[in-house]
Chain A
């Protein structure tokens, strides 16, 4: 205990002295769910651990897949893919990287208890061919295998065994282990210290196998929950990079010397899920009116997304009728068309469905997950109320919100989907539209089931011909659109802000990759 205290004391003194040119002070709205790369499917946590651990293949700055810990790969059979591993790589603790590490890590990630299992579907076994060659055994053709693998980071087998951590943990269930606050990877940075919810310090890994494109020696990551405080920290020079930067403060940041906004269209589509089960969670009528497609259409017509874009999103969101962003495979212009905003139409559809006086239901939203999520929902609730619905607005922290979504304890709820790490519409089909069955339909709304969509989804999963695959995918997505299975809202903008001394590419997936960042003086 005393040693721990002394260590934190030393860390604190270093904090004040080590603010040299190449250290980057980075603030986000929240902390990671721990440093175990397999303990959460949260994309912010995964990209943060990606600074320490690495996958077999990775995205480059232009979102193209490139070799990382694997140097080449070859499909021997549709169900057997051979990976050649990089030679001479060592972990930060000094252990050599090899085939057994890959085997242990991949199997740890797809363990039935692992929260990441859905991010690498179809993997049944990893066979070691020699020290630097592995075969991945799949239960069917997997065209997106490499996309999946970008998100599965490799840990050292000996280190996991020494700390009794081979079994996976699930951070969303509150599980913690040695790997939660300690890390040993092959990546560009190594963990120096971690104080949960206060400070994570990374230092450069001098022994990294790759040539660094960054010039950082040290990263200090501080979670700052309040938007205003985060912006104030940037403006006062306490912090070099913030993510996210609140949209409403963009004008102020642009108008201040020495700092600038980084804004681009994002990949994350925000949408409302709809409970189509037998009854409402919190309703005042018999049965479930939301099962009627006319009621869902009425809801669609009642929401004025252009106004939400102009007022709440400061003109920065991309209003959409599609569940995927234009940059994601499977998108089409036709898919992007929205039902027009028309409150009269909404009222008449509602009357036609037999609810001229509306009905009550819960409208559940997170208030700390997506850009201005709580405000969007408040505005949406007002619009729905003006068209004859009786929404009961519930805005909650994300832990509570997503637990309720998982348990189907919501009627109409907000969800964002960026199709990460696949960047492919199949992610939406398999996770959000297919009927719940095994690894399919993890987020499919309660009660939604369209056999034709299921059939197409399974066809897309094994179709190797890219053109045919896209056509099948588009057909399935259009069917779901006609069903109003989800109510699309917009693609949220990427919004970061940085000091002018910081140079960093902003990838459309909204993930901060500091190994591409440079700091000048």
Chain B
């Protein structure tokens, strides 16, 4: 990137808006910290919670290190299998974010393609795509995700469930969330395709595919960015919900939701730290994503300036 593009970026509306919104800055910094923690989890963690040979039962259910009875080796305490909670949260965060991002990419890819095709081609194709979207919208998202999850598990042989869990989750959440993208993109496409530049491209003999990809798509991506950001938070929450219900990530590879589920079983016995810390991290993550998404929506909306 040359200096001129950088300075152009710096002077852009959105960058100005960013510099003047403390909410946007705080949530961005928080998110960057969390992303870095997830990315460098193997370096930051004191233990690999997936490696069972590193778990010593003698150290199970230790409270956080600052509480009486805590152990300095285990900053946030351990669970009933002596998994270090701090390390588990780092690795769990990683899984939650991988599932979140991958399902957003899947949902966005699917939604944008179907929306473009529906909006551009129109007629029967459009009708078919939008009716499917309407049907999906009439169910709560978590139900659709549970359904996809259940069907995928029904198809797969049971002994592959643990290995395939992450793919199944991505598929389930991705297939649930594409509708918003499709509807948004379709709407914008229908507006754009009547405009002069599209007519001009048509006269020049550019193919339908070419018009969709090179002319319309760049002009409908703004709102998609906003949806994608907010959707990331939703996807992480859906993953946590599925794992909490016991149909997501297995206990041997805990995501944040799985950790909360495990901790929940031990709440009555006074082991509060197993449920509290992963929950706090989940709340911070989703809150930061949503605040950033909110800000982005306002910043991209010219009517609000």
Residues of B within 8 A of A304 (CB): 57
Residues of A within 8 A of B272 (CB): none
CB <8 Å contact, B81 and A249: no
Task: Tell me whether A385 is interfacial, beta carbon within 8 Å.
Answer: yes
8 A Cβ contacts from B35-68 to A:
52-53, 55-58, 60-61
CB nearest neighbor in B for A388: B53
Task: Tell me whether B159 is interfacial, beta carbon within 8 Å.
Answer: yes
What is the minimal beta-carbon distance from A140 to any residue of chain B, in angstroms? 40
CB nearest neighbor in B for A232: B268
CB <8 Å contact, A311 and B52: no
Of the candidates B57, B250, B252, B266, the one whose C-beta lies within 8 Å of that of A308 is B57
Of the candidates B57, B159, B268, B270, the one whose C-beta lies within 8 Å of that of A307 is B57
CB <8 Å contact, A385 and B266: no
CB <8 Å contact, A307 and B81: no
**Band of interface residues on B:** 20 to 34
CA distance in complex: A382, B82 (Å)? 10
Residues of B within 8 A of A308 (CB): 57
CB <8 Å contact, B52 and A312: no
CB <8 Å contact, B159 and A312: no
Residues of A within 8 A of B60 (CB): 311-312
Task: Tell me whether A226 is interfacial, beta carbon within 8 Å.
Answer: yes
Of the candidates A248, A307, A311, A393, the one whose C-beta lies within 8 Å of that of B266 is A248
Contact with B along A213-238 (1 / 0, CB 8 A): 00000000000001110011001000
CB <8 Å contact, A311 and B252: no
Given A375-B80, A382-B53, A383-B57: A228 touches B252 (CB 8 Å cut-off):
no
Task: Tell me whether B269 is interfacial, beta carbon within 8 Å.
Answer: yes
Given A312-B80, A395-B251: A379 touches B267 (CB 8 Å cut-off):
no
What is the minimal beta-carbon distance from B264 to any residue of chain A, in angstroms? 6
CA distance in complex: A248, B60 (Å)? 13
CB <8 Å contact, B265 and A311: no
Contact with B along A391-416 (1 / 0, CB 8 A): 10111100010000000000000000
What is the minimal beta-carbon distance from B279 to any residue of chain A, in angstroms? 15
CA distance in complex: A227, B266 (Å)? 9
8 A Cβ contacts from A249-268 to B:
249, 251-252
Residues of A within 8 A of B266 (CB): 248
Contact with A along B108-124 (1 / 0, CB 8 A): 00000000000000000
CB <8 Å contact, B269 and A249: yes
**Band of interface residues on A:** 20 to 34
Residues of B within 8 A of A383 (CB): 57
8 A Cβ contacts from B15-36 to A:
none
Of the candidates A226, A248, A395, the one whose C-beta lies within 8 Å of that of B269 is A248
Residues of B within 8 A of A375 (CB): 80-81
CA distance in complex: A381, B82 (Å)? 13
**Interface hub of B57, B61, B267 (most chain A Cβ within 10 A):** B57
Residues of A within 8 A of B250 (CB): 395
Of the candidates A228, A311, A381, the one whose C-beta lies within 8 Å of that of B267 is A228
Residues of A within 8 A of B159 (CB): 394
CB <8 Å contact, A227 and B265: yes
CB <8 Å contact, A252 and B57: no
CA distance in complex: A379, B55 (Å)? 8
CB <8 Å contact, B267 and A393: no
Task: Tell me whether B302 is interfacial, beta carbon within 8 Å.
Answer: no
CB <8 Å contact, B162 and A394: yes
CB <8 Å contact, A385 and B53: yes
What is the minimal beta-carbon distance from B162 to any residue of chain A, in angstroms? 7
CB <8 Å contact, A249 and B268: yes
CB <8 Å contact, B158 and A396: yes
Given A311-B61, A312-B57, A383-B57: A378 touches B268 (CB 8 Å cut-off):
no
CB nearest neighbor in B for A399: B158
What is the minimal beta-carbon distance from A184 to any residue of chain B, in angstroms? 36
Of the candidates A235, A246, A379, A396, the one whose C-beta lies within 8 Å of that of B81 is A379
CB <8 Å contact, A378 and B61: no
Given A304-B57, A378-B52: A226 touches B265 (CB 8 Å cut-off):
yes
CB <8 Å contact, A382 and B55: yes
What is the minimal beta-carbon distance from B209 to any residue of chain A, in angstroms? 47
Residues of A within 8 A of B81 (CB): 375, 378-379, 382
What is the minimal beta-carbon distance from A123 to any residue of chain B, in angstroms? 36
Task: Tell me whether A386 is interfacial, beta carbon within 8 Å.
Answer: yes
CA distance in complex: A375, B271 (Å)? 16
CB nearest neighbor in A for B51: A385
CB <8 Å contact, B58 and A311: yes
CB <8 Å contact, A252 and B80: no
Contact with A along B235-256 (1 / 0, CB 8 A): 0000000000000001110000
CA distance in complex: A90, B265 (Å)? 46
Given A312-B80, A375-B81, A394-B159: A246 touches B265 (CB 8 Å cut-off):
yes
CA distance in complex: A389, B191 (Å)? 64
CB <8 Å contact, A385 and B268: no
8 A Cβ contacts from A278-329 to B:
304, 307-308, 311-312
CA distance in complex: A312, B267 (Å)? 15
CA distance in complex: A288, B130 (Å)? 57
Task: Tell me whether A188 is interfacial, beta carbon within 8 Å.
Answer: no
Of the candidates B252, B265, B269, the one whose C-beta lies within 8 Å of that of A378 is B252
Of the candidates A252, A307, A374, the one whose C-beta lies within 8 Å of that of B58 is A307
Residues of B within 8 A of A393 (CB): 52, 252
Given A312-B80, A378-B81, A393-B252: A228 touches B57 (CB 8 Å cut-off):
no
CB <8 Å contact, A251 and B52: no
Residues of B within 8 A of A248 (CB): 80, 265-266, 268-269, 271
CA distance in complex: A311, B56 (Å)? 11
Q: Given contact pairs A381-B52, A382-B82, enumerate 11 new A-B contacts (beta carbons under 8 Å).
A: A232-B268, A235-B268, A248-B265, A252-B269, A378-B55, A382-B55, A382-B57, A382-B81, A391-B52, A393-B252, A400-B158
Q: What residues make up the interface of A, taking CB atoms closer than 8 Å to B?
A: 226-228, 231-232, 235, 246, 248-249, 251-252, 304, 307-308, 311-312, 374-375, 378-379, 381-383, 385-386, 391, 393-396, 400
7 pairs from A and B in contact (CB 8 Å cutoff) = A228-B265, A231-B268, A248-B269, A248-B271, A252-B268, A385-B52, A386-B53
Closest 6 CB pairs of A and B: A385-B53, A248-B269, A382-B55, A382-B52, A249-B268, A252-B268
Q: What residues make up the interface of B, taking CB atoms closer than 8 Å to A?
A: 52-53, 55-58, 60-61, 80-82, 158-159, 162, 250-252, 264-271
